[in-house]
Amino acid sequence: MSGTHLELAGRVLPRVGIALTERPGAQPVWNLPAEASAKIAGRTESATSFEHLIDCHMRWMLLDVLRLSRGRFAEIPDANQLLGNLAHEIANQVLQPGPVEEAAVIADKVNAVFDELLGAIASPLQQPELAGELAAARVRVPDSLVRLAELLRHKGLDVVGTELERAASFPDGLEVQGRLDLLVRDAQQHLGVIDLKWTRSAKRRVTEFSEGRAFQLATYSAIADPEKGIPADGAYYLLNQRQLLGLSGSRLADDEVEGQSLAATWAGLIGTWSSWRNFALGGRMVATGIAENEIHRPDALGHAPGEAPCQYCELTSLCRIYEGTTGS
């Protein structure tokens, strides 16, 4: 093909030669244009964006600040995700604000909505190949929510609400929002956040507590009561294991784990956010998985990146981590 233009469908398309440039190689620190840094002002963080930030500064900048997305194909979630969605929605419907009803009432309510919600939000579970999972869920989901109701009643906890949107402001312009699965209150009006998880194993959540890295729960605890600004107690309810898991001394927890308080985890989170934010405002972005040592990180990070920040990252081809390092 030659010439200065070509015609296509009645349109004239000009052809101009361009200079080829080398694709950039992997590097620990990238310079940010001023427009990118400017997008940091006025943004609102979430538990997910905090998790991105702690694991990799570049991931947070690209996904959360610059909102880079490769788009989504419509896809059917896997059975585990469907079961989690179903259990969450059933809990949302049967745990109404006020004192928790007796186990038998909760069981009746779960069974009454199970099939309707199954068809509405988790219908792929009705496929023949998932018959085993569905049969197990018909027993486990009601058992699990009945057990949760028993635990809440035993601890004298009332339901404040489910799927509650909360937003709060903190010093240095930090704005945070999130949706709480379940907010409860004891007789002394102390609030507690319970995050519902459908998971194969309790191990990950136990490790989060023991290593002081329960970032999602610490975030929800910090925003649960934005008017008073008092951090709430927090726990995970593991639906599959029927375990109410929290830190040692928690009024919510039934199974306790020794670890750093949620307030201390939150304080570390704020410090980490502040350090990385200032770094980006200074015009630099760090690919944490490529930055092999602490020279590339701000001083005194409250929480260091996880051990394998790139393991679940969708940006490997963008930061070019597997294509060799060109230095910083």
Q: How would you label 238-261 residue by residue, b for 16+ Cβ within 10 Å and e otherwise?
A: bbbbbbbbbbeebebbbebbebbb
Nearer to ligand SF4, 2 or 311 (CB): 311
Contact between 288 and ligand SF4 (CB under 6 A)? Answer: yes
Contact between 56 and ligand SF4 (CB under 6 A)? Answer: yes
Nearer to ligand SF4, 149 or 285 (CB): 285
For ligand SF4 (CB under 6 A), the number of binding residues is: 15
Beta strands 191-197 and 174-185: pairing type?
A: antiparallel
Contact between 277 and ligand SF4 (CB under 6 A)? Answer: no
Q: Which stretch binds ligand SF4 (CB under 6 A): 64-72, 157-165, 211-219, 284-292?
A: 284-292
Q: How far is the CB of 203 from ligand SF4 (least distance, A)?
A: 22
Out of 200, 316, 323, 326, point to the residue binding ligand SF4 (CB under 6 A): 316
CB 113 within 8 A of CB 93: yes
Q: Which stretch binds ligand SF4 (CB under 6 A): 112-120, 250-258, 277-285, 313-321?
A: 313-321
What the block records as the tokens of 218 is 């610490």
Nearer to ligand SF4, 61 or 110 (CB): 61
CB 32 within 8 A of CB 285: yes
Cα–Cα dist 63/314, whole Å: 10
Contact between 310 and ligand SF4 (CB under 6 A)? Answer: yes
What is the C-alpha R_g of the chain?
Answer: 24
SS3 91: helix
Alpha helices (H) in 12-130, listed in sequence order: 34-38, 47-55, 57-59, 79-94, 103-121
Cα–Cα dist 299/143, whole Å: 48
CB atoms within 10 A of CB 51: 18
Contact between 58 and ligand SF4 (CB under 6 A)? Answer: yes
Nearer to ligand SF4, 53 or 191 (CB): 53
Contact between 65 and ligand SF4 (CB under 6 A)? Answer: no
Build a one-symbol-per-residue string for 202-231: x at contacts with ligand SF4 by CB under 6 A, - elsewhere.
Answer: ------------------------------
Q: Which residues bind ligand SF4 (CB under 6 A)?
A: 55-56, 58-59, 287-290, 309-310, 313, 315-316, 319, 321
